[in-house]
Structure 1
Amino acid sequence: MHASAYFALQTIATLGTLPAIFAKNVVLPIPGGPLQLGTATAVLTDHSRPSWANDTRPRALPISVFYPVGYAPCSGGYLSEYVPQIVSDFENKYFELYGVLAKIDYAAFKSQMYHTCSGGKHHNEYPLLIFSPGYERTRLLYGALAQAVAKAGYVVVTIDHPYDADIIQYPNGEVITTDHETNLTDAELVEIRVEDVSFVLNQLSDKKIARKLVPYDIDTSKVGMYGHSAGGAAAANALISEPRLIGGLNLDGDVTEPVTLVGNGKPFLQFDHGTHTHFNSESLSQMWPLLRGWHEELSFNGTTHSTFGDLALLVNLWGQGNSGNESQVVSHLDGKRVTEVLRVVVTDFFKFLFTGKESKLLKCHNEGYPEITCAITCTPSPEVDCVPE
């Protein structure tokens, strides 16, 4: 099966032209507490591997880092770029059949970040999380969710995978897009991502490199990982080979070998849209009985595959609604609510991973979150209601 199977869009009719009425420099509303964030970007170059089958240059991985800088009062605030204009223009063409998604000026959005912050305690305080995006999707379109997760007290690093991401613009202006001519299988593509994750962890383990990105020490010995689609498959497989990863979360992804053959023994959460579970996905059904550690499967009902990211939020903020063709991509749900639900599930899982405190939501008790149901049978108790699929 070709890697593009991870992200397929149906061909449907184009909506009429929508007026561009959105202002520039609109700050993204990031849910979460008062913890303030800083950000950095970098390109980490692995000289031991080629960039791609058709590009023999060293593999250069763009990353974004979102990190807590303490609580107010903060100083040095600035509006950081959500995506560059060239990425916004590319996405408009990419989504040309999908209504509002083809009209949004993605570069109009900004994120409120801080250079410095007084009064924060930093040294090894915030666990590290790695994020891998969906196939044919830039890490940049998951930045709002990454910030929401970081505000819960995590250093979040998002990775772009060259020739796998839909578009990457490097600091020197070079642009590369997805290589659609590759003969890689899904498993081979995911394995490259796993190698990318290990390389990034190696780089962040070097304090000189890490301190150029984050103004305090970070612990790379115990790391969590989450990913969407092919990124979720990468998380599942990276748990097998990467000892620094202690648990993983798959956002609506099918998986590939080797996890379908050997499973793993680390905590693992599968979070799917309502009609995609291990009961009807061949790869998930192969993996599920092989999981030996804590594992759970939750469903986000009423969503689509691409709801698991920032797109639903951006459609909401654009103000044109999501009742047209764009709903085929982002669903009909309110985008702000989508981001809040994603934030809660992701942060609940990583709180459990790093503290052992399992929330009621992870035990299938969905009070306050009726959109979420438990896709497997859990163990009922006086405190927990099991909600099977």
Structure 2
Amino acid sequence: MNHAHFLRGLTVSTALLTLAVGIGGRPAAAGKPGDTPSLPSPTGPHPVGTTSLHLTDDSRPDPWASGASARELMVSLWYPTASANGRRAQYMTPTESELLLKEGGITGVPSDVLSTTRTNAFADARPAGPERGLPLVVLSPGFTKPRTTLTALAEDLASHGYIVAAIDHTYENVATTFPDGRVTTCTAGEGTHDEAFWKRLVTGRAADVSFVLDELTRAHATWDGARLIDPSRIAMAGHSVGGASSVTSMLADSRVRAGIDIDGTTHVPIPDSGLSRPFLFLGRHSQYSPGSGGAVATWERDWQRLTGWKRWLVVTGAEHASFTDVGLLAEQFGVDMGADLPAARASEIIRSHTRAFLELHLGHRAQRLLDKPSKRYPQVAFCGPEASPRV
């Protein structure tokens, strides 16, 4: 399965804290002990605000908590704002930082270091934009990963005029903090991770997504910024099992008009009747190139059943963590994730290609970046199951 743990099996030594490996073995810039980690600046024209919602779905029990008659979720929202000032949002709490580092076996850094990460969004800034005028993008993280690990992508999209909702799928990540101070951990990981488990996981995530869409698009939504959402322009993207959940969510909910699977093995096949809405596969060259075996088989199967606009892109030199903030922050700590592609470059590729897909299918603006290989991004290859990657 492609659900690698955060910084799996790595520890931070003194040498690693002062040097990271770049392309071709060249040293890459790395953080030093005491440096404040940071996320890359958004590339769009709008300042970004962010807030969190605590939502409760009383219509169904929690799938992972015995005796819980309702499903509770925490959702982070990023959006354009006219207020380019105020307090920068905290990346995660000290407790969440400690638990995420512990899960990855990371030592040699302060346990709260991720809580000090510098973000670019202003906490609780007022949303700005035309009423019913902004597209909505739902983000779903990988298994055991909190929603915050997709912050760099979310901030960038919001700076270009999108509302972004990232969901913490409760009990499926190392730490979810609720407003009353409760912190839930990953109980869904207990037991056998067989195919039935992953199907249960993505099916549950599809239900989470539909509920969040209900809450954000209903009349008199609790969040004031919901009035800006155009309910006819909704897309979803996710990483790892969150990417696989994009397929499941599109099959379950027609409101999701376009989807992206970022480096995730799909677990619920697209039915023979097909899926006609736009879809993008975006993954590692080493894992998701035709003929590489293993996880790529699920993409080959589903590719044949995607009957609308579709692309299959792979990134040379990337590793699983390269597609999220995990790679960005690990490199700043000096941790070698095994990627040949510098984390900042990988982040640029993910953000630019995700944005191009959304601009094409939610904004209806042509995107040359998705028509053919680009000299600007030679690491990105176009491919399909019956052809070698085109670079």
TM-score by length of 2: 0.84
Instruction: Assess if the C-alpha contact under 8 Å between 2:373 and 2:380 holds in 1.
Output: no
Seen in structure 2, the aligned counterparts of structure 1 residues 15 and 107 have a Cα distance that, compared at 3 Å, is closer
Indicate the RMSD between aligned Cα atoms, in angstroms.
Answer: 2.8
Could you list the per-position Cα deviations for residues 79-117 of structure 1 after superposition, in whole angstroms to 9, with x for gaps in the alignment? 1111100011112211215x7889781011132434557
1:16 aligns with 2:18: no
2:344 paired with 1:342? no
- Matched residue, 2:280: 269
Identical aligned residues as a percent: 27
Of 92, 99, 104, 2:101 maps to 92
User: Separation in 2 of the partners of 1:378 and 1:278?
Assistant: 10
Equivalence for 1:250: 261
Residue 388 of structure 1: which of 383, 387, 390 is its match? 390
SS at match of 2:384: coil
Q: State the partner residue of 1:282.
A: 297
Q: Distance in 2 between matches of 1:204 and 1:127?
A: 12
Pick from 292, 309, 319 the counterpart of residue 324 of structure 2: 309
**Structure 1 residues without counterparts, runs of 5 or longer:** 380-385
User: Which residue number in structure 2 is paired with residue 383 of structure 1?
Assistant: none
The residue type paired with residue 265 of structure 1 is S
**2:372: which partner in 1?**
364
> Which of 209, 212, 218 is residue 197 of structure 1 equivalent to?
209
Counterpart secondary structure, 2:161: coil
CA contact (8 A) 1:211 1:217 kept: no
Does the CA contact (< 8 Å) of 2:275 and 2:306 recur in 1? yes
CA distance 1:116–1:196, shift in 2 (3 Å) = closer
Superposition map of 1:1-389 within 5 A:
5-9=1-5, 12=9, 14-17=11-14, 18=17, 21-23=33-35, 28-57=39-68, 58-70=70-82, 74=83, 76-96=85-105, 105-114=113-122, 115-116=124-125, 121-179=129-187, 180-182=189-191, 184-212=196-224, 214=225, 216-259=227-270, 262-277=273-288, 279=290, 280=293, 281-316=296-331, 318=332, 320-322=333-335, 324=336, 327-328=337-338, 331-376=339-384, 388=390
SS of 1:221's partner is: strand
SS of residue in 1 equivalent to 2:152: helix
Kept in 1, the 8 Å contact 2:12–2:109? The answer is no
Distance 1:290 1:338 in 2: 29
In 1, Cα distance between equivalents of 2:186 and 2:229: 32
Gaps of 5+ in 2: 19-31
Deviation track 1:241-299 (CA, whole Å, cap 9, x = no partner) reads 21111110110111122426553111000001112226232211211111100101001
Q: Residue 382 of structure 1 aligns with which residue? A: none
Matched residue pairs, number? 365
Contact 1:52 1:162 survives alignment (8 Å): no
Q: For 1:31-79, what per-residue CA distance to the aligned partner results, in whole angstroms no more than 9, with x for missing partners?
A: 3123111111011111111123443221101100000124xxx354211
- The answer on whether the counterparts of 2:139 and 2:236 sit within 8 Å (CA) in structure 1 is yes
Q: Which has the higher contact order (CA 8 A, sep 6+)?
A: 2
TM-score by length of 1: 0.85
CA contact under 8 A between 1:130 and 1:156: conserved in structure 2? yes
Q: Aligned partners of 1:100, 1:300: CA distance in 2, in Å?
A: 31
